[in-house]
Structure 1
Amino acid sequence: MSSAALSSSPASPIATGSRPGDEAPPLTVRRLMDRRQLRTVFQPIVQLDCGLVYGHEALVRGPIGSPLEYPDMLFAAGRREGLNTELEVHCALLAMAEWSRLKLPGRLLLNMSATALASAVAQGLEQDRLFICEDLGICASQLMIELTEHERVADIEGLRRAIGVLRRKGVGIALDDFGDGRSSLRLWSEIQPDVVKIDKYFTHDLPAHAEKLQTFRALLQLAETFGAQLVAEGIENAEELRVLRDLGVAFGQGWLIGRPTPDGAREPLAGAREVLASSEIAVLPELRRASSNGVTAERLMMEAVTVHEDTTHEQLFRVFNEHEELHAIAVLNSRQEPVALVDRAQFINRWAKPFFMDLYGRHACTLFANPTPLIVNADTGIEALTTVLTSADQRYLREGFIIVREGRYLGLGTGEQLVRSVTEARIEAARHANPLTFLPGNIPISQHIGRLLTSGREFVAAYADLNHFKPFNDEYGYWRGDEMIRLVARVASNHCDSQRDFLGHVGGDDFVMLFQSADWEQRCEQIVQGFNELARNLFDAAALQAGGIMAEDRHGDMRFHPCTTLSIGAVRVSPGSLHRAEEVASAAATAKRHAKHEALSVYVMAL
């Protein structure tokens, strides 16, 4: 961007002093520009796969300690003075000159609004000197314009033309702060940026928020569709950086990587370098999946004929005869709104009674219809309908329910469909998260093992199982048995490092732990000891005094069973020793069997 093409106001001589008694001139953006009192700081953006500096974002600063030191106040003042575009161009030129002097690595990202960009490009075209930077030693391909204006762009065609000119020159385009509430997916689609910067809200505390992780995954898919790369903004700690790196986000920016400084950076800060060089993988937060799995009432809908509220019983009988597949028929008013539901079996039973046709054949079908059927909106999740399954009024299971949108009839749903869908959804959900402990289930466990194997680092796979649990469950019932299983989950969670160690629940009383912590063996011992102490509280006084309970064994014979304890079998998985998740799970299960057979608290098996 040439200073000849995009010129700001000429500099005025800076006053060197003032006479006693003179009032200080008001602080204005114009004075700051004229007196060259604005300065540039540079914040690095790094490649998360290798730690190299991808480029720097240029950020403007006013006089230190002044009300206009930071951009928000500075640009607000610029708008009040009518200097929007001129101020943005001035800051861009200032940044380019300083960046050229420093000879910083990578690309230079310049913040500009859509309005200022379109105006600046038009001005440069008029002068035929657009983005000619040889005098600064900058190639256009080293520049990237970061669009900061996300509200509705008034002149989208003008913006498109400006971006087209820039692309032909080799200038890149970035979209800033995507997801901050002002950003537009439509704008992303319209301008097809090379880079999209994701707002720091989604990065903040990412390892503890599965929904944010799912958002990043969705954005990565979107970026692949549009041919863009993502920059995660606001990275402040090692855990956030590790998760973003493992997700496959291309670039990162934030205080952990490097703060804005006048001199920029040649490499990320030490804390970021350590994370990016490490083979340790992140424990990705798991979303507790709703058992409905996103299925709505509309998915259960069957199209079915209806009758009007004036339809007679005789006419209704003919409709049922013509449509033998119908379990029920909805009765609608003139506005196509359901007012009743007629159950086929009940209606046919009444019709078959002596004299029914003579007495009621010409009466309206609403006479014996259910005037309060279950009516659900098409967008209702089936989880909200599960109360029907346990309701004291079981007629809804028999006659089904009516599905509407905005009050108008769409179709019918059956109790059979609802039961089948809920059952299938919950079976699928249990593969992802155990419904008793809400810990990750088989699929996330296998996925995490796969990521560990791919990382090429050593880890420990541990399998935990309860001893003498069946007699306890038989003696005290499933409620206390569930409480004991939840106790295993609670104790194990307390002793696993949530950032390094993965805890999953296979099912029943079987748990899997995947350790990256160096002190994993001590953690296993603490889990066993902690559980064994707390589990005693679930036995009654007589059992504690006896040291166990008399109960049937697996062969139906009564014998004495000691109080329930926990055993853990563990195996060290070194790089290249095992290749598939199934092999790791099998080895850990073998170690667990050794631990139980030899009555050990922790057994470590060598491969």
Structure 2
Amino acid sequence: MDERRYHFVFQPIVDVAAAEVFGYEALVRGAEGSPLHGADALLGAARAAGRLLELECEAALAAIAAFGRLRLPGRLFINLGAPAIEAFAADRGSRLFRAAVDADVAPSRLMLELTEHERVEQYERLHAALTVFAAQDIGLALDDFGDGRSSLRLWAQLQPAIVKLDKYFARDVHRDPRKVDVVRAMLTLAERFGSLVVAEGIESATELAVLRDLGCRYAQGYLLGRPHERPVAGVPDEVSAVLASGKIAVLPNALPGPHPDQTVARLIVRAPTVSADACNEDVRRVFAKWPDLHAVAIVDGDWPVGLIDRRTFLDRYAQPYFSELFGRRPCAQMMNPDPMRVERDVPIDSMVRMLAGDDQRYLFEGFIVTEAGRYAGLATGESLVRAVTERRIEAARHANPLTLLPGNIPVTEHIRRLLAARAQFAACYFDLNNFKPYNDLYGYWRGDEMIKLAASTILDSCDAGQDFVGHVGGDDFLVLFQSEDWLARCRRVIEQFALRSRTLFDPQDLARGGFESEDRRGFRTLFPLTALSVGAVEVRPDAFSTPEDVASAAAAAKMVAKRSEGGIHLCGLVSDDALACG
């Protein structure tokens, strides 16, 4: 510090909407080749030496001077901790303002970027300090929001103009639906708080496209420009291409989370109980009074100690002399002492493991529902199977369980985004010809393998960044192509599937080019080898109003394709309201 053996590099921050540089973040570096070259090492040494505040203040003034010498456009983001901001405010900001004027940088071009080296405790004092700079239109940015140090309380109390989202959320955002959800939530919060968001750490064009489509106003990262002593003043060509593109990004598919209402509580059947010291005759009277009751819980106070199912009990009671011999004996002798007990707040989704368990008695005797361990009611195995099935069906609408590809709901949502963006795309409906007779002949296992092969073949020929692949049920796939060479990709899918699928046929069927199976009328018929066909619709801006219209047109084209010799059928708009197919 005494020898001023530090310098600055500047990293651009890009305005996504305008596709131009919005400003630069100044990053301090120690002497080249020294142990203190990196910012973390330098700041750590300053903290250990008790000179962190001094370093931050001197570095801020030196960064302004360096920025002025470079004549860079836009705003200058200066990293400062809360103590440094308060120190600069002590003289009403005179040192900071003077440094800006001397460097020919208007104070309003400065942006103080709050970094939390230490936890901010004195919110009121920091807020008062920031008021000094607000009078000169110097803004506040909150750094690394979401890394565990930048708190929501800081955001709410300080009301920064800009919030910089931690780089963790940008990294592979196109692959992680949870990160997409976080970014969406932060953007919604930013809109409510009147802040703008900078997405940090962007390293790929795909990440940038997703964040652009989610609504991030500003972006920063190696893709947009690495920190440099003399950074470029413009936006790289690769970045300009992404920001100017009319294509929308393919978002990662998310499965529906547990629904707060979908718990075991919804399965409860209100039913009477029998005390543990009751006799078998008491249990019989309960079943006689409640003809629809499938079982009765045996309780000791509020604690369920066992379960007697109706069918087993009454079958035994109907045996000769049973009532005379055992009617007055304790019912505990007839109960299952280890029944299934489930808390009422347990999500139904988590009950799937129970369905696959070895103990299947709950299917006929049901299980006991508890609340804080106490008896709350009964539930039937039938109602559990039905509830789990409903949840699995709902999940399948989001992601097909066989291929894990997006299902009907995300397909519809993606078409809706394409239509809203007035994007030009091709909706291509892939289907397997003669799949049912193949499935009947070779069995479901081989049929599943063929569906998975079709999925992988389609995926291999698509651009994951701009082509959306959905599995809409059975052997049907809907691909929403934004790739300009989509027709060549479709042909490649059909050709590659024809080659790869040969391993799924027996040698004799390959030799004769077909297989024998029953047709829909039950007659033995020779079917051609199962192959993919595709019906395609070119969708131009404003050609369709709803996702359902697009899907219906593609399905209609698919039906024609299944009857065509080449396996491909195209429908394209020749006027505003007419389709030409061929």
- Contact 2:370–2:376, Cα closer than 8 Å, also in 1: yes
Alignment partners' CA distance in 1, 2:111 and 2:289:
69
More deviation, 457-466/165-174? 165-174
Out of 203, 208, 211, the position equivalent to 1:236 is 203
Cα 1:487–1:135, aligned 2, differ >3 Å: closer, same or farther? Answer: closer
Quick check: 1:459 aligned with 2:425?
yes
Counterparts in 2 of 1:236 and 1:376: CA distance versus 1, 3 Å = same
Q: Any unmatched runs of 5+ in structure 2?
A: 574-582
Q: Tell me how large the CA RMSD over aligned residues is.
A: 3.6
Counterpart of 1:146 in structure 2 is 113
CA contact (8 A) 2:515 2:529 kept: yes
Count of residues in Structure 1 that have an aligned counterpart in Structure 2: 567
Output the CA distance in 1 between the equivalents of 2:66 and 2:290: 80
2:419 paired with 1:450: no
**C-alpha contact (below 8 Å) 2:141/2:164 kept by paired residues:** yes
Structure 2 counterpart of 1:93, from 61, 71, 87: 61
Given that residues 532 and 567 in structure 2 are in contact (C-alpha distance below 8 angstroms), is that contact kept between their aligned partners in structure 1? Answer: yes
> In the alignment, what sits opposite 2:577?
none
Give SS of 2:223's match. coil
Is 1:430–1:441's contact at 8 Å kept on the other side of the alignment?
A: yes
1:527 Cα offset (Å): 0.9
2:45 to 77, 80, 94: 77
Verify the 8 A CA contact 1:109 1:145 in the aligned structure 2.
yes
Residue 71 of structure 1 aligns to which amino acid in structure 2? Answer: A
Other-structure match for 2:550: 584
Percent identity, aligned pairs only?
47
* 1:155 CA drift (Å): 3.2
- Change in CA separation of 1:475 and 1:322 when aligned onto 2, cut-off 3 Å: closer
2:178 paired with 1:180: no
Per-residue CA shift, 1:77-135, capped at 9, x if unaligned? Answer: 111111122221222222233334444333322212234334543x235xx85864573
Name the CA shift for 1:350/1:554 in 2 (closer, same or farther; >3 Å).
Answer: closer
Work out the CA distance in 1 between the residues paired with 2:285 and 2:525.
Answer: 68
1:354 aligns with 2:323: yes
Counterpart contact for 2:561–2:569, Cα < 8 Å: yes
State how 1:45-194 maps to structure 2 within 5 Å: 45-121=13-89, 123-124=90-91, 129=94, 132=97, 135-136=101-102, 141-149=108-116, 152-163=119-130, 166-167=133-134, 170-194=137-161
Aligned mates of 2:393, 2:253 — CA distance in 1: 17
Give distance in 2, aligned partners of 1:64 and 1:537: 60
Counterpart of 2:426, as a letter, is V
8 Å Cα contact 1:343/1:399 also seen in 2: yes
Q: Matched residues in 1 for 2:35 and 2:79: separation?
A: 21
The 2-side partners of 1:539 and 1:207 are apart by: 37
| Residue 595 (str. 1) matches residue 561 (str. 2) | yes
The one of 184, 190, 197 aligned to 1:217: 184
- Distance in structure 1 (CA, Å) of the matches to 2:192 and 2:343: 33
1:23 maps to none
Structure 1 stretches of 5 or more lacking a match? 1-31
Is the 1:289–1:433 contact (alpha carbons within 8 Å) kept by the matching residues of 2?
no
Q: What are the residue-to-residue correspondences of 1:230-379 with 2, within 5 Å?
A: 230-288=197-255, 297=263, 299-300=265-266, 302=268, 312-313=278-279, 338-341=304-307, 343=309, 354-355=323-324, 359-360=328-329, 363=330, 366-376=332-342
Separation in structure 1 between the aligned mates of residue 169 and residue 355 of structure 2, nearest angstrom: 38
Deviation at 1:75, TM superposition (A): 0.6
Query: TM-score, normalized by length of structure 1?
Result: 0.82
The SS at the match of 2:328 is: helix
**Which residue identity is paired with 1:395?**
R
1:385-409 residue CA offsets vs partner (Å, 9 max, x unmatched) = 2244455644313443345677666
Which residue matches 1:550?
A: 516
- What is the match of residue 383 of structure 1? 349
Q: Secondary structure at the match of 1:606?
A: strand
Query: 1:546 Cα deviation (Å)?
Result: 2.7
The question of whether the paired residues in 1 share the 8 Å contact of 2:351 and 2:388 is answered with no
> Is residue 478 of structure 2 the alignment partner of residue 512 of structure 1?
yes
Deviation at 1:306, TM superposition (A): 8.9
1:488 to partner: Cα distance: 0.8
Secondary structure of residue in 1 paired with 2:338: coil
Contact 1:43 1:265 in 2 (8 A): no
Query: Structure 1 46/415 Cα, relative in aligned 2: closer, same or farther at 3 Å?
Result: same
